[in-house]
Amino acid sequence: MSAQKSKKFSFLTTAYKTEAYLGDTIESVLAQTSPDWELVVVDNGMDDAIAAIVQSYASDERIRLVRQENKGYAGGVMAAAEAASGDFFVVLDSDDQVLPGFCRAVAALVDSDPGVDAVGCDAFRFDDDGLDLPIGYYRSTNIKKKPDPKHRLNLTDLVGGYVPYYTAAIRQSVWEEVGGYDRGDQELHESVVIWLRMVDRYDIRVLPQRLARFRLRSDSLTRDPKAVEAFAEELERSFSYAAPSDEEAKAALESTLRTLRYWVLLRRARFALLSGDDVGARLAAREAFAQRRTVRAAMVLAAVNIAPGALRVAHPAKQKITTKLSHAVGRLVSAIKR
């Protein structure tokens, strides 16, 4: 009896306390218009609820379950990779999704150019109500140019912030050669560093289509000031890991680091203002303006100096209006997609 042919794509999904979302993630893989895939789900914490969800799909032999004690996010992804056998590995978080055309679009590119080692894409951002937001993943990260699949990414692209969205197809052999998501003893962000390890040696492309969906959860750590700053520090360490010698890449890296610090400082100003720390809000706003002299930073700096109390009172109403507007646009985007 001949061995079963490996699939084109292996989706690597680690799940921990995401039973509310995992079913939708699995369904998004099942909806692929190309059947040439397998899905390895790691129950990263021996959670019977997670295992039961995966086992409910046992009739499809392409979906497999691995169970282990919690080894952290990277440890869960690496466990999935160890059990996978596809030609390309695709990390897919257990609260996110892929669109039906993901496999077909990526396969078309790598089949047309066998030298391509990894393929990324743009993604929709969506909220817990399932509504797609109008601004996609790349635009939300301040990347204004549209991805060009004919362009091979270089180090200047990456340190300039043009990092592929994490749900991307990476050739299995390349994944193994660069160590995948193995962080070792370094406190780096795995979905950034893997691309920095790859870029000089391998051909990385990005498709312009939004072929995935990135969930913005209401319980996100971005609501915790300490977590926000810790994550930003990890990103800064990760981008700095590249240590470019080329002057153009050095300038791109410095711009990215300044942008990271700018957003952290603006958030710090907001958190300080809302907690009644007007002095802290002014200091953070001043430092944000020093990093990037934008109109937004200037307006925040002026507001926290002239009328912090009024700004504090107006903030909840502004947030409510912004949320309602985002939901209205999200419904429109969803209707257009249908």
Walk along the chain (338 residues) and give the pLDDT tens digit of each residue. Answer: 345 678 999 999 999 999 999 999 999 999 999 999 999 999 999 999 999 999 999 999 999 999 999 999 999 999 999 999 999 999 999 999 999 999 999 999 999 999 999 999 999 999 888 889 999 999 988 787 889 999 999 999 999 999 999 999 999 999 999 999 998 778 899 999 999 999 999 999 999 999 999 999 877 655 677 888 888 899 999 999 999 999 999 999 999 999 999 999 999 999 999 999 999 999 999 999 999 999 999 999 999 999 888 887 776 655 554 444 444 444 444 444 54
* Nearest of 144, 163, 184, 37 to residue 100 by alpha carbon: 37
- The percent of the chain in helix, strand and coil, each rounded to the nearest 5, is 50, 15, 35
* SS (HEC) of 23-89: HHHHHHHHCCCCCCEEEEEEEECCCHHHHHHHHCCCCCCCEEEEEECCCHHHHHHHHHHHHCCCCEE
Closest alpha carbon to 126 in 136, 139, 111:
136
Query: Which domains are seen in the chain, by residue range?
Result: 9-218 (3.90.550.10), 244-337 (no CATH)
Residue 171 identity (one-letter amino acid): R
pLDDT digits (tens, 9 = 90+) for 168-224: 999 999 999 999 999 877 889 999 999 999 999 999 999 999 999 999 987 765 567
| Integer Cα distance of 234 and 238 in angstroms | 6
